[in-house]
Amino acid sequence: MTRLPPRRARRAVLGAATIAAALLGRPALAFPERSLRRIVAYPAGGGSDALARLIGQAMAERLGQPIVVDNRPGADATLGADAAAKAPPDGHTVFSGDSGSMVNAIALFRRLPYDPARDFRGVGLFADFPLVVAVPTASRFRGIADYIAAAKAAPGTIACGTPGIGSPHHLAVERFMKEAGIPLNLIPYRGGAPGVNNLLAGTLESMMLDVASGGGPLRAGNLRALATTAPGRWRTLPDVPTLRESGLPDYRAPAWQGLVAPAATPDDRIARLGATLGEVMARDAIRARLIEIGVEPLLGSPAEFDALMATDRAYWVPLIRDLGITLDS
C-alpha cells in the first residue's frame, strides 16, 4: 500500500504502463474486446458504488470499453464476492474487494462460499477509509489520553458504537482495546447513520466512525474526533492525532478497497488492468474527489496488493478467531 505525491505517482504509473506494454505485446491489443463487469457487493447509491462508478468510468475511457457496475448486495458482501470468484477468469470481470470480503470474512464466516486467498488475485489498490474515535462536542473527553485513562479507571463503562458486528470499525475498536489495555462497552448498530445520530444527540458516548460518513459533522464542529486510525494525520482533520502517535505505535486498522479479479485471470490482462487503474489513481482530479468524500487515494501494484492482503490475513484472521467473532451460526 503506497501513498505517493502526485509527481512520483505519475512516474510510478508510467513505469507500470511500460511493464504492462512489454507483457502485453501485440496480441493483448484485443483486450478488452467487450464491455467489462465490475461487481460491487453493496447497494447502488452507496459510497462503494460511487467509488466504483467514478473510477470505472475513468478506466473505461482508457481501456476503450465500457465498465458496467453490477451491484450484488447481501449476506455481508459475500454474495457479490462469490459471484466474482465464480466468474470466467478472462479479465472481463473484476470485483471491488475490501478488507472485509478479502480478509476478515475468512474468520467471520464458518461456511464461506469462496476462498479469498485461493479464488482472487489483486489488480490494484485505490482507497483507504480513515476511521476516527469520535465523541459529542460536549463530551467530557478532550483528547484520546482522557478517554483511555477513564476507560482504565472504570472498565467497561464507556460506550463505543460501531456500524455493526464484524465491520472494519468493530475490529478497529477490538484492536484499540487490545493495544491500549482497556475494556469498552461495545454498541453495534445496523449501519453507521443511527450511531452518528445518537452521537449528535448526545445519547451515545463515543463511536468508531469513518471520515466518509462522519466527516461533515466533524468538520462542522458538531462532533469531536479524539484520534484517527490512519498511519499519518488525515489531511482534512490535520489537528487530530493518530493512535500511533498517542502511545500505540504498532496500531493499524485497515479499511481499504481495491480491485481484484478471479485467480486464473492471465498475467497480461492483470497487468493491463493494474496499469490502467494506477494511471487513473494518479490523476489529480480523481484524487481530489476521493479526498473530498473522505477517502484516502491509494496506489499499489498487483504484487503489492497481494502482499498486503497476505499480511493482513496473517494478523486479523487469528485475532478474529481468538475473539470468537462470527457472522453465521
pLDDT score at 78: 95
pLDDT score at 211: 86
What domain count does the chain have?
Answer: 2
Quick check: is 32 in a domain?
Answer: yes
What average pLDDT does this structure show over 2-16? 49
Compute the CA torsion angle 96, 100, 103, 105 (nearest 10 deg).
Answer: -120
What average pLDDT does this structure show over 217-241? 91
pLDDT score at 26: 42
Q: Are 125 and 299 in contact (CB under 8 A)?
A: yes
3-state secondary structure of 93: strand
Quick check: is 1 in a domain?
Answer: no
- Please give the share of the chain, as a percent, with pLDDT higher than 70: 91
307 and 237 share a domain? no
Q: Are 70 and 309 in contact (CB under 8 A)?
A: no
Q: How confident is the model at residue 176 (pLDDT cuts 50, 70, 90)?
A: very high
pLDDT score at 3: 55
| Residue 14 scores a pLDDT above 90 | no
pLDDT score at 235: 85
Count of C-beta atoms within a 10 Å radius of residue 187: 16
Give which of 205, 132, 215 is closest to 172, Cα–Cα.
Answer: 132
| Residue 112 scores a pLDDT above 70 | yes
The parent domain of residue 239 ranges over 131-246
192 and 289 share a domain? no
pLDDT score at 20: 47
136 and 236 share a domain? yes
Choosing from 202, 226, 246, the residue where a domain stops is 246
pLDDT score at 166: 93
206 and 294 share a domain? no
pLDDT score at 192: 87
Give which of 140, 98, 84 is closest to 265, Cα–Cα.
Answer: 84
| Residue 15 scores a pLDDT above 80 | no
Amino acid at 317: V
Q: Are 79 and 111 in contact (CB under 8 A)?
A: no
